[in-house]
């Protein structure tokens, strides 16, 4: 086979065979196919797309590009939850202890922030001492003992995705349906979980900007997961506004703790309860309504918060910080962004909110950047709220003062204010089985 012929075939709208796809991924991981040819193929896929069969073959090739984990020595059903990436999305920190406190096993591999979106591993690393790089045996031991552990993706798991993602990130090929499906599901299928619930984001803060595209993404991921023998479900949820009020790392951990204490923002709490209930239902813990009741109770009786503290202690952090979040350090500097005019906030460009938090130091502009855990944004007003000119709409936090002006400019430009109140939009748009 020749890479040239495969690029040409896809460029001209052809359908690649399973053997061709496998050959490309093997060659790329071995370093035999150079980045420029892989980038050209990604761009051809971006414009020409792939059918479900090609996308399945690509996903399985990504999965098989490295080690596939064996969790059979973890007793009981293992569940996973994965978001396609959002702004202020700290649901994993809330949902995983809820379901673990109710008896399902959470053996979770999470990612770091990508582009304007945050990542669970960066958030957990805002807890001093928390180790996200546990050896696999220690990881499994903790899951067996306390029912939950969350670690970063090991170097051996789906290495094709690491290479492909870094290349897509710099060649404007991230938001391609078959490339997102194979990236997410390639990694998920390499870990040995039984049930996977996907939170597929839609709207201005997500990679798929329309509900139609997000639905298609969800149904392909669900279908491919089922083909690999997993129990699958996906929720399509709105990312046309940040989730909760906190965007950043420490601020999001604190907001997740508040949610586990039963005093979290309404939207975040609603989504966390729904995701937990779907996971429990998929794991056969009961009918959906019963699972929803159990998830709410795990918050009310404190068992989910306790489980989060247990996980933090088991992974090297201090569980007392979870029970007393006032211990978390605050950023040295803060700055208040105020509305320039009066009216209702009728909509925001969520991606720009994510970029503003990167500017403050909460994310990376290059792979080498070191995150400032205390950097971020706390929103004082969200879509639907009425503000008067001069009212605070956001509090910015950072260890440096240099980003405030640029972040403020981004936030103000991204916030649309009008005299008429907007129509309330649902947070959960659809469920794909």
Q: Which of 6, 40, 85, 154 binds ligand URA (CB under 6 A)?
A: 85
Asked about 183 being catalytic, the answer comes back as yes
Regarding 207 and contact with ligand URA (CB under 6 A), the answer is yes
Active-site annotation holder among 92, 183, 206, 214 = 183
Asked about 176 being catalytic, the answer comes back as no
Active-site annotation holder among 108, 187, 307, 410 = 187
Please count the residues of this chain forming the interface with ligand URA, following the rule CB under 6 A: 10
Q: Kindly list the strands in the beta sheet with 386-387, ordered across the sheet, starting from the edge strand earlier in the chain.
A: 386-387, 343-348, 415-418
Active-site annotation holder among 122, 161, 193, 199 = 161
Q: Binding segment for ligand URA among 72-80, 177-185, 228-236, 355-363 (CB under 6 A)?
A: 177-185
Q: Which of 56, 183, 315, 415 binds ligand URA (CB under 6 A)?
A: 183
Regarding 180 and contact with ligand URA (CB under 6 A), the answer is yes
CB 187 to ligand URA: min, Å: 6
Q: Which residue is nearest to ligand URA (CB)?
A: 183
Regarding 84 and contact with ligand URA (CB under 6 A), the answer is yes
Angle at 153 between CA 62 and CA 55, to 5 degrees: 20
**Restricting to residues 295-334, which ones interact with ligand URA according to CB under 6 A?**
none
**Restricting to residues 39-78, which ones interact with ligand URA according to CB under 6 A?**
none
Task: Return the number of the residue (187 or 307) whose C-beta is nearest ligand URA.
Answer: 187
Strands 105-110 and 78-83: parallel
Task: Return the number of the residue (56 or 281) whose C-beta is nearest ligand URA.
Answer: 56
CB 90 to ligand URA: min, Å: 16
**Restricting to residues 184-203, which ones interact with ligand URA according to CB under 6 A?**
184
Task: Return the number of the residue (179 or 260) whose C-beta is nearest ligand URA.
Answer: 179
Asked about 82 being catalytic, the answer comes back as yes
Q: Binding segment for ligand URA among 22-30, 180-188, 401-409, 419-427 (CB under 6 A)?
A: 180-188
Task: Return the number of the residue (183 or 415) whose C-beta is nearest ligand URA.
Answer: 183
Regarding 111 and contact with ligand URA (CB under 6 A), the answer is yes
Asked about 168 being catalytic, the answer comes back as yes
Task: Return the number of the residue (55 or 183) whose C-beta is nearest ligand URA.
Answer: 183
Q: Binding segment for ligand URA among 38-46, 54-62, 174-182, 306-314 (CB under 6 A)?
A: 174-182
Residues interacting with ligand URA, by CB under 6 A? 84-85, 111, 114, 174, 179-180, 183-184, 207
Q: Which residues are catalytic?
A: 82, 161, 168, 183, 187
């Amino acid at each position: 086979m020749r890479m040239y012929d495969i690029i040409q075939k896809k460029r001209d709208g052809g359908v690649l065979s399973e053997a061709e796809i496998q050959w490309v991924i093997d060659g790329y991981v071995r370093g035999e196919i150079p980045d420029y040819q892989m980038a050209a193929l990604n761009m051809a896929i971006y414009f020409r797309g792939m059918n479900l069969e090609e996308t399945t073959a690509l996903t399985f090739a990504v999965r098989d590009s490295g080690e596939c984990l064996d969790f059979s020595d973890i007793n009981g059903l293992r569940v996973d939850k994965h978001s396609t990436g959002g702004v202020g999305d700290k649901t994993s920190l809330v949902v995983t202890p809820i379901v673990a406190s109710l008896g399902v096993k959470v053996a979770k591999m999470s990612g770091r922030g990508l582009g304007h979106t945050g990542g669970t591993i960066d958030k957990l690393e805002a807890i001093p001492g928390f180790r996200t790089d546990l050896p696999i045996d220690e990881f499994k031991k903790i899951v067996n003992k306390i029912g939950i552990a969350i670690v970063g993706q090991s170097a051996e798991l789906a290495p094709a995705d690491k290479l492909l993602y870094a290349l897509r990130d710099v060649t404007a090929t991230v938001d391609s349906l078959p490339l997102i499906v194979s990236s997410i599901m390639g990694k998920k299928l390499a870990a040995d979980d039984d049930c996977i619930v996907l939170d597929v984001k839609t709207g201005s803060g997500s990679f798929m900007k329309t509900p139609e595209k997000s639905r298609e993404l969800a149904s392909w991921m669900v279908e491919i997961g089922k083909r690999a023998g997993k129990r699958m479900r996906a929720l399509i949820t709105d990312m046309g506004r940040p989730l909760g009020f906190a965007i950043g790392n420490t601020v999001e951990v604190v907001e997740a703790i508040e949610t586990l204490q039963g005093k979290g923002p309404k939207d975040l709490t609603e989504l966390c309860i729904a995701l937990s209930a779907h996971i429990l239902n998929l794991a056969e813990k009961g009918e959906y309504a019963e699972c929803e009741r159990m998830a709410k109770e795990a918050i009310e009786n404190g068992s989910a918060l306790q489980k989060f503290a247990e996980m933090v202690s088991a992974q090297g952090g201090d569980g007392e910080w979870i029970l007393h979040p006032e211990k978390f350090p605050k950023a040295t500097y803060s700055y208040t962004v105020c509305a320039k005019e009066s009216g209702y906030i009728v909509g925001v460009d969520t991606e720009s909110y994510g970029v503003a938090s990167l500017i403050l130091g909460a994310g990376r502009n290059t792979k080498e950047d070191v995150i400032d855990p205390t950097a971020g944004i706390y929103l004082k007003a969200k879509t639907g709220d009425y503000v008067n000119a001069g009212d605070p709409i956001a509090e910015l936090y950072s260890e440096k003062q240099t980003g405030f002006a640029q972040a403020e400019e981004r936030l103000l430009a991204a916030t649309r204010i009008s005299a008429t109140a907007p129509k309330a939009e649902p947070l959960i748009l659809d469920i794909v089985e």
